Structure 1
Amino acid sequence: MMTNMLSVLDTDPQGGHQPAAPSSLSETALFDAYSQAVVDVVDRVGPSVVRIDVKRGDGSAGGSGSGVIVSPDGLILTNSHVVQGSRRADVTTLDGRVLTARVLGDDPDTDLALLRVEADITLPAARLGDSKVLRRGQMAIAIGNPLGFDATVTAGVVSALGRSLRAKSGRLIEDVIQTDAALNPGNSGGPLVSSAGEVIGINTAIIAGAQGICFAVAANTASFVLGEIVRHGRVRRGHIGIAAGTSALPRRTALRLGLDQTHGAVITAVELKSSADHAGLLTGDMVVALDGRTVTGADDLVRMLDAGTIDRTVPLDVLRRAEPRRFWVSPRERA
């Protein structure tokens, strides 16, 4: 008993015992550092976060959400489900200015949209970071307008990386960030920010009834979509004319052929007179690689058929009756 007591007491010079010095000072310093980091990020990025109020085609008010200015001339990233197919929106800045913006492009497949402010002004812009360097446990700060409460800040961590999320279009959004930074309706389209003050994701979804499970489209996906919309007015994707599903690759076959993957994309249908049909692909073929990149499922195949493959002839490696075959396909732009 005395030993336990002595472990938490200090001995004074007169032989008496005094309570050990509390660690509150170090804890206070730690919490102050965390708070200061959040404050610094909000001061830097907060002015670039806007409220978006959508206008319907008949001029009536639609929904609202958040957005983030990503260039000083007024380019704003938000969610596709925020703009809801509209062509105009009112944008309210942190300092209270209400500006009109038009929708430059809308990509439901990634739940992203790009707007441009019509006024000839310079606006504070946030910088898109590299989401590939993120690590689980890293600080994540969400800024937005949940439930109409402007300029709301919540903080948490990056809970997981590389998640997939089903978009309203039915396509899987790849490389989604999971965070426990609290999100609510109205946060959609706002930025998820790192401690370095860079936008690492665009907040997009929550799971109803769950606690601390929220999602953001990765910044690298947002950068790709932004570039495609600026150049082409839309996101261009390749199409070879097949339907496919994900299927397990027999372990014995993988070992025999020296393949590291455990799954591939099995072709379930081939469109008549399509690129795949002309190449000689058949129902039942398992796609294991496209243009030298490993395909581990149907979603990999869809993701890899990006703008860079359009009007090129690229190799498609398949297994037909457990034997490797290579075909050459020429993806066309998907309508």
Structure 2
Amino acid sequence: MLDLTRDSFDESHPSQAAQPAAADDQALLDAYSNAVIGVTERVGPAVVRVETGAKAPNARERGGLGSGIVISPDGLVLTNSHVVGSSKEIRLRDIEGIVTDARVLGVDADTDLALLRADGVRDLPYASLGDSKTLRRGQLVVAIGNPLGFESTVTAGVVSALGRSIRSVSGRTIEDVIQTDAALNPGNSGGPLVASSGKVIGINTAIINGAQGICFAVASNTAQFVLSEIIRHGYVRRAYIGVSGQTAPVPRRHAVVAGVDNKMGALLAQIEPDGPAAKAGLSPGDVVVRLDGVVVNGVDDLIRVLDRDRIGRTLEMDVLRMGRLRGIDVHPIERKPVARQGSAR
């Protein structure tokens, strides 16, 4: 007769097979938690609350509210241009509650970014910008900010998609945007999106009203470009040809026929009437693969090539049209900076 009173069936003790599985689950959970905790401890002290508008005893009731990330020990702070708005009074509140006045060094409404400098402070905790081109879909990311005024809030998620385009406050399309499902709310704007390495790979910028789990951040490579331009000129000088587009794959057969190595290019979607591109004969559907001798693997590359050094010059642009390579001369002009406008929020 079978003896069911001993080891053959004992509900009071988990089976030996179940124990390793539970241990493995715990190890995975600990690894995830440790990654988020590590990022929070490294980057959290560099996140500040950005308050705009008139000073008041309770800043949550008046003025605007957002987040920012300190990127240098002497007080350079990146945030969103829509957080700063047209406000002339800006204050930064750090994780310890210390409030510091700040001034605007420059804004770029085209990318919804602004650069501030905290007044009279040195040796601040700061975070470093990473390389957003190394991101992969599904990668762990952490958002840190002040949603709805709740300081130092941490949420985690993954990179949902790369290369998105969203509309900036100036009406221009922001290209190469990171989509994430890390929970964001009003007040997160301007705060960092951080990889598990502790590098800032995006500046949180927008939430789609009514959507769940769809949030966006401006890529850190775009932020690095804007940062360097503001430091040098006070605004972002750009050459302008009057197009909008998106990053798109180049079919292998087209690349072979054209004799180019591009796997990706900048697909032109719209051409502004009477703009430099229209005058040069560019058309919607053209795929830019090279400009002024520089390989263009997407819209991000096209934007970067159109820098201040190419204003007023005649540039040779190689495009794929109906699968065939064409060379077109285009003459960029300087795009005027967008004036600060709108209320802070």
TM-score over 0.5 for the alignment?
yes
Larger CA deviation: 322-331 vs 193-202 = 322-331
TM-score normalised by the chain length of structure 2: 0.78
CA shift in 2, pair 1:307/1:98, >3 Å: same
1:98 Cα deviation from its structure 2 partner:
0.3
Give the Å deviation of 1:232: 0.7
String of CA shifts for 1:302-326, please: whole Å, max 9, x gaps: 6642334224442124689998653
**Which residue number corresponds to residue 269 of structure 1?**
273
CA distance in 1, matches of 2:244, 2:42: 45
Cα gap change, 1:34 to 1:320, in 2 (>3 Å) = closer
Equivalence for 1:55 = 53
For the pair shown, the structure with the greater C-alpha radius of gyration is 1
Amino acid aligned to 2:239: G
RMSD between superposed Cα atoms in Å: 3.5
- 1:1-335 superposed matches below 5 A: 16-18=8-10, 20-21=15-16, 22=18, 23-55=21-53, 61-240=62-241, 242=242, 263-264=267-268, 267=271, 269-271=273-275, 281-282=280-281, 288-289=287-288, 290-292=291-293, 304-317=305-318, 326-335=327-336
Separation in 2 of the partners of 1:297 and 1:68? 28
2:280 match: secondary structure: coil
In 2: Cα distance, 1:220 partner to 1:145 partner: 24
Q: Which has the higher contact order (CA 8 A, sep 6+)?
A: 2
Task: Rate the CA distance shift 1:294–1:97 in 2: closer, same or farther, 3 A.
Answer: same
1:38 shift after superposition:
1.3
Amino acid at match of 2:274: V
Query: What's the offset of the Cα at 1:258?
Result: 6.2
Question: Is contact 2:254-2:324 (8 Å) kept?
Answer: no
Question: What is the distance in 2 between the residues matched to 1:225 and 1:87?
Answer: 21
User: Which amino acid is 2:30 matched to?
Assistant: D
Matches of 2:188 and 2:72 in 1, distance apart? 20
Shift of 1:243: 5.8
Q: Which TM-score applies when normalising by structure 1?
A: 0.80
Does the Cα contact within 8 Å between 1:82 and 1:189 map onto a contact in 2? yes
The DSSP-based 3-state class of the residue aligned with 1:176 is: strand
Matched residue SS, 1:25: helix
> SS where residue 128 of structure 1 aligns?
coil
Stretch of structure 1 that moved more, 83-92 or 216-225? 83-92
**In the alignment, what sits opposite 2:341?**
none
Determine which structure has the larger strand proportion and give its number: 1
SS in 2 for 1:47: helix
- Distance verdict in 2 for CA 1:288–1:177, change over 3 Å: closer
Provide the secondary structure at the position in 1 that maps to 2:71.
strand
Unaligned runs of 5+ in 2: 337-345
- Give the C-alpha shift of residue 331 in structure 1: 2.5
Q: Is the 8 A contact 1:243 1:269 kept in 2?
A: no
1:35 is displaced (CA, Å) by 1.4
Matches of 1:285 and 1:205, distance apart in 2: 28
The whole-number CA distance in structure 1 between the counterparts of 2:71 and 2:136 is: 23
Residue identity matched to 1:42: T
CA separation of 1:268 and 1:156: change in aligned 2, threshold 3 A: closer
Deviation at 1:121, TM superposition (A): 2.4
Q: What percentage of aligned pairs have identical amino acids? A: 56
Using the TM superposition, give the Cα deviation of residue 333 of structure 1 relative to its aligned residue in structure 2, in angstroms.
2.0
Q: Structure 2: how far apart are the matches of 1:67 and 1:36?
A: 24
Give the secondary-structure state (helix, strand or coil) at the position aligned to 1:96: coil
Whole-angstrom distance in 1 between the partners of 2:142 and 2:322: 50
**How many pairs does the alignment contain?**
312
- Bigger shift: residues 318-327 or 262-271: 318-327
Amino acid at match of 1:16: S
Paired residues of 2:243 and 2:277 also in contact (CA < 8 A): no
Q: The residue matched to 2:316 in structure 1 has which SS?
A: strand
Gaps of 5+ in 1: 1-10
